[in-house]
Structure 1
Amino acid sequence: MAAPTTANKPKRVHPVDEVLPVPKLATYGFQHVVAFYAGAVLVPIIIAGAVGLTDEELVKLITADLFTCGIASIIQAVGFWKVGVRLPLLQGVTFAGVAPIIAIGLANGGGSASMLYVYGAVIVAGIFAFAIAPVFIKLLKFFPPVVTGTLITVIGLALVPVGAMDAVTNPATHEPDPTNIRWFLYALGTIAVIVAIQRLFRGFIATIAVLLGLVIGCAVAYALGDMNFDRVGEAAAVGFTPPFLFGMPKFDFVACLTMMIVMLIIAVESTGSTIATGEIVGKRIKAENIGNMLRADGVATTIGGIFNSFPYTAFSENVGLVRLTGIKSRWVVAAAGVFMILLGFLPKVAAIVASIPNPVLGGAALTLFATVAAVGIQTLGKVDFTDHRNLIIVTTSLALALWVTAYPDIAQGMPTGLDLIFGSGISIGAVSAILLNIVFFHTGSHGPRVAGGGSITLNEVNSMTRERFTEVFGHVVQDVPWAVDRAYDQRPFASTKQLRESFQDAVLTGSSEQQLELLNAFHDLGAEDETGHALAADHSALSKLDEDDHNDVVDLATAYREHFGFPLVICARETAHFDRVLQNGWSRMDNSPGAEKAFALIEVAKIANYRFTDLVDNANPIASARFSRLDEIL
């Protein structure tokens, strides 16, 4: 009989690569544009005002920004060669570059002439980002979930005040007016509409909740006289900002170095956004994807310097939009890029979007920024917070980031370099998380520090006498001599991973008599010393029991020993709850003696593994697994 043919079998397409029908591409793409528009134009508005550009120059900066945002988004989402991560990452001008760009402009006299030095530095920074991509991906081991999760959370929380400011801004004067409850109600109403649509509808309607929230908010504001289209009438029908609007760029060493440092910070920010988007769309992010992402940032930033724009990164609010809508196709972002390019040629169309009242836009922005923070919290859910080092990394970085976010003027008067780092909450949060991770997990002379609270190095372990090795590590295997000796005999250890494996192998490869000796070295569940403290120290789930519950544990342990001839061993850290310990123990009474012995040894191996993690510094199993995976792909 002929083999079944697979010629007509449809090719599997990941949701990221799915090409949606044109109407949906257009609608979802436009929603991305609306969500990102205010943030995109805010950067040139802030910079133009700070360095003293004219209103006419500002309009040209905005159209140039939209045009290059569209190109950057298409490059990142569609990609070519090794450029572009090919994920739904919409690109926009980063807020991380605002303070340094203003500083460069003012240092060179301000006005349009100073922009020559700004764009010279932007072009050099873009080329730098493209060039360092192969090196940067080798540093990915310094970005475990504790770093990326902290960074994504910081990005979301640091941007919330931006949405909050819009939410209390008078749309007529564009000045903050927090005492006017009218603006508060606009923002709150927009949030309520978005939530209500998500709750009441399914399918397509639910996925465009943000867009509908903005449309309904604008309709209410227009009906109440708080929205007008005056700026649409004032805008030109067609316009385009030519390259090198201010003249040929000039290159200043300090300005270029400053922007190169900014690009490193942007690379970390973009890495966090890329990993977050990968988690949202269900696509594994490899080292090569990060390199492709960074090359695209570099190309887009270089194009931005030529076309009168600024450094680019993935826009966090649009990462939140992907999460909120569930639309994973990268071609939606490509469609948004086409819209942005068109907006760059059509000032009147862009002016319509620019007419959205600040409080309405602020309400939607608050939802999106908070969603980004939630993605970061989800990433931090993978972190082992019983390891105090991870806790310190997260809390310190969040504290510094929110400190600077709350008091953004804190960088004024700081020395050059520090003022850059403390220029934004995102910058200091990123630097703090990276440096603290290195300090806690990657420092130590003569090999990693692996025991004794960080006082004993791996090289020192390899040179230990058998007696000293037993003193330090014996507790891992209940101080059973043959098990310690088997681990000791596997020296030298090239890594912490090999040291861990030596104990796992020792537990599972002993003779039958040795394994029984190991099992009998463990205390019975419920056994206590003369002071009433539990002898089975690993069983935290069995501490502080009342008299009846303690007696239930003793009854189980007694029955088990009488039946099998060795104590009941349960890795209670995984069982976690008293009732489940009892259920686990009694269910095992039905096993055959041989099967139960094997089962008990597996529990001993689990306990040894946890004890090893408690004892050994730099043995976070989540981080170790992540690093080993990265080692495979680098």
Structure 2
Amino acid sequence: MNDVTERQTAPVKEKRLPLLQMLLVSFQHVLLMYGGAVAVPLIVGQAAGLSREEIAFLINADLLVAGIATLVQSMGIGPMGIRMPVMMGASFAAVSSMVVMAGMPGVGMTGIFGATIAAGLFGLLIAPFVCKIVRLFPPLVTGTVITAIGLSLFPVAVNWAGGGSGTGQFGALPYLGVAAAVLAVILLINQFMRGFWVNVSVLVGMALGYVLAGSLGMVDLSGISAAPAFQVVTPNHFGAPQFLLAPILSMCLVVVIIFVESAGMFLALGKITGQEVDPKQLRRGLLCDAGATFLAGFMNTFTHSSFAQNIGLVQMTGVRSRYVTAIAGLFLISLSLLPKAAFMVASIPAAVLGGAGIAMFGMVAATGIKILQEADIGDRRNQLLVAVSIGLGMVPVVRPEFFAHLPHWMEPITHSGIAVATISAVSLNLLFNVLGGPERHALTGANH
């Protein structure tokens, strides 16, 4: 039996790795999620017409809250934190709403932050009730949702591998070559090495890809000298938050969607790590999401949630320790205080991330397919549930404008393939298996 199979079938143990290995594996998590963490403040800051210095401050604020939230989610504090290897960051679910708010007269950044605070409070109030939905996620639904998560992330990896959306020569051979080199290194390490090297295979692949990309002139370090060496994020940097009804209602809807997505991702991570996610654990995880969002509004940043791409890294490396993500949270906090260091991480070319993303996001989809084997996937109605839910989940990915004529308030749902797939899978399971009677309920896999 090869090393990869051994890692996947061995019992999961909560353990602390040797210090060097722990640091390297933790830094892998930071590198993977960093692009997503800075993308939201970049988009919203540009929509609001902020200066480059103000956008840089937004990014540092996001890194700080993401680090704190990751620490809480990984280790737990009081009633918050699912105590699993989870990375947190600014959620894309709210981007479209916040871009609209940024351009509304009398709203701006302070209105966005006020809506974020109110939405966080709303999330804290509803989390104890939402956590009960765990019973609606038998293996049939969970496997479908996890597969949809992996597939919905593939366009991100492909965009990275082609050079990123900002390049004028998308798909140029140098970009494809760098992405292919990173992917090849990861695959070769997993095939021919074991232990420490497998655990840090993504980091090694990205490091070599960074060197290769630098030799091809893809690494841009211009402006690093202008960045301050040290900067502390201060609350309410842009002024006192404004609490306006329309933005608050919009952001509260976003929190509901974040909860749906997070529930699916927590259950996915539970399957990968071999831990059962019960309603109590799910409540702790959702409370952390909401608490991070509440804090974010005061600290000049936005709604926060767990990052799906890091679930793929947990599966890819086989390192399932929450201590790893806790240290990654400390890395994020450090980067928020050291703008020059954050600048260096941000200089990683998209093609380097693309090579790693193809492997890791595919692992998420493969995990979903494996979980589906626990359900009666031979049943025609269950096959239809999987087919329709994954198909609907791909709609926002393939054609984001497909739902453009639906009401604006639905955008947080219709722009999220994960949310669409989750709602479809839960609804069809209720129709086919729960309302169909006890004999149909057994086919969901819930009693396996």
Q: Give the 3-state SS of the residue equivalent to 2:89 in structure 1.
A: strand
Q: 1:68 aligns with which of 61, 65, 69?
A: 65
Shift of 1:18: 2.1
CA contact (8 A) 1:149 1:272 kept: no
1:485-524 alignment runs, 5 A limit: 496=438
Shift of 1:317: 1.4
Q: 1:286 aligns with which of 256, 278, 295?
A: 278
Q: 1:37 aligns with which of 34, 51, 56?
A: 34
CA contact (8 A) 1:28 1:332 kept: yes
Q: Give the 3-state SS of the residue equivalent to 2:305 in structure 1.
A: strand
Look up the match of 2:258.
Answer: 266
Distance 1:381 1:257 in 2: 40
- The residue identity in structure 2 corresponding to 1:80 is I
Moved over 6 A (4+): none
Distance 1:620 1:429 in 2: 20
Shift of 1:39: 1.6
Relative distance call for 1:94 and 1:412 in structure 2 (3 A) is same
Relative distance call for 1:233 and 1:621 in structure 2 (3 A) is closer
Deviation string 1:525-553 (CA, Å, 9 cap, x unpaired) is: xxxxxxxxxxxxxxxxxxxxxxxxxxxxx
CA contact (8 A) 2:113 2:241 kept: yes
- The residue identity in structure 2 corresponding to 1:61 is L
Q: 1:114 aligns with which of 101, 108, 112?
A: 108
Q: 1:321 aligns with which of 304, 313, 333?
A: 313
My pick for the range that moved more, 48-57 or 206-215, is: 48-57
Distance 2:368 2:383 in 1: 15
TM-score (norm 1): 0.66
1:89 has 2:86 as partner: yes
- The residue identity in structure 2 corresponding to 1:90 is M
CA contact (8 A) 1:43 1:93 kept: yes
Distance 2:410 2:189 in 1: 45
Larger radius of gyration: 1
Look up the match of 1:183.
Answer: 175
Q: 2:151 aligns with which of 157, 176, 199?
A: 157
Q: Give the 3-state SS of the residue equivalent to 1:620 in structure 2.
A: helix
CA contact (8 A) 1:68 1:303 kept: yes
How many residue pairs were aligned?
A: 438
- The residue identity in structure 2 corresponding to 1:311 is T
Shift of 1:621: 6.0
CA contact (8 A) 1:174 1:358 kept: no
Shift of 1:442: 4.0
Which runs of 5 or more structure 1 residues have no equivalent in the other structure?
A: 1-13, 444-448, 451-495, 497-615, 627-634
Deviation string 1:197-238 (CA, Å, 9 cap, x unpaired) is: 111211101110100111000111222322242232232111
Q: Give the 3-state SS of the residue equivalent to 1:313 in structure 2.
A: strand
- The residue identity in structure 2 corresponding to 1:109 is P
Look up the match of 2:291.
Answer: 299
Deviation string 1:115-152 (CA, Å, 9 cap, x unpaired) is: 22211121122122222222112222222222222222
Distance 2:428 2:49 in 1: 39
1:373 has 2:365 as partner: yes
CA contact (8 A) 1:408 1:424 kept: no
Shift of 1:339: 0.6
Work out the percentage of aligned pairs sharing the same amino acid. 37
CA contact (8 A) 1:126 1:299 kept: yes
Distance 2:83 2:363 in 1: 22
Q: 2:340 aligns with which of 345, 348, 359?
A: 348
1:359-370 alignment runs, 5 A limit: 359-370=351-362
RMSD: 2.1
- The residue identity in structure 1 corresponding to 2:188 is A
Relative distance call for 1:119 and 1:440 in structure 2 (3 A) is farther
- The residue identity in structure 1 corresponding to 2:329 is G
Distance 2:406 2:143 in 1: 28
Which runs of 5 or more structure 2 residues have no equivalent in the other structure?
A: 1-10
Look up the match of 2:417.
Answer: 425
- The residue identity in structure 2 corresponding to 1:78 is M
